[in-house]
Amino acid sequence: MENKKNCCKDVCKDIPKPLAHYAVARRAGQMLYLAGIVAADPKRGMVINSYRDLEDEAGRALETGDMSVDYQEGRVGAQTWFIFSTMKKVLEENGTSLDNVLKLTTYMKDISQFPAYVRVRTMFFPENPPASTVVEIKELLPTNESLLEVEAVAYIPEGK
């Protein structure tokens, strides 16, 4: 059932290794189920906490230069950017794209940060956004620095 090319079992070079014993993604027919993604970069041993922590130049460009804004909304904004950048890589490695994401489930420690999350999420889904559920929760892994986790369900086009 799984495509040899997908990275459900083997970690691909551009996708962070899972934080524990689970698959990054699993394919069932033309559907791809992504595990929850957090803004933890195991390669660097850190949780993303600011735009400056992002290795992606486009993500770093979100920084406003206003310390109070960048600290308050920058943490969730940077984590959101990291999560959706990682999601994009996982999807592409599995023969699909953000355009084919059908459903997102987001777990947030502080629902009041939802506007900053949506602002960044909209950059990744400018048109035809997926169905979405957001749930406020008490705690996330791997540390209390993690502010959100996003899981997804995507469609893989025929022939991929």
Q: What pLDDT is attached to residue 23? A: 86
Residue-level pLDDT at 120: 96
Q: How many domains does the chain have?
A: 1
Residue 66 CA to residue 51 CA, distance in Å, equals 12
Note whether residue 108 is domain-resident: yes
Calculate the alpha carbon distances from 65 to 52, 86, 119 in Å.
11, 25, 17
Asked if the structure places residue 8 within a domain, the reply is no
**2 lies in some domain:** no
Q: 85: domain CATH number? A: 3.30.1330.40
Contact predicate 133/153, CB 8 Å: no
pLDDT of residue 8: 44
Has residue 20 been placed in a domain? Answer: no
Say if 18 falls within a structural domain: no
- Note down the domain range covering 82: 25-155
**Domain-located, residue 124:** yes
Spatial CA neighbour of 160 closest among 74, 85, 95? 95
- Residue 100 resides in a domain: yes
Question: What digits encode the pLDDT tens for the residues 76-130?
Answer: 999 999 999 999 999 999 999 999 999 999 999 999 999 999 999 999 999 999 9
Q: How confident is the model at residue 14 (pLDDT cuts 50, 70, 90)?
A: low
Q: What CA–CA distance (Å, rounded) separates 42 from 49?
A: 14
The answer to the question of residue 66 being in a domain is yes
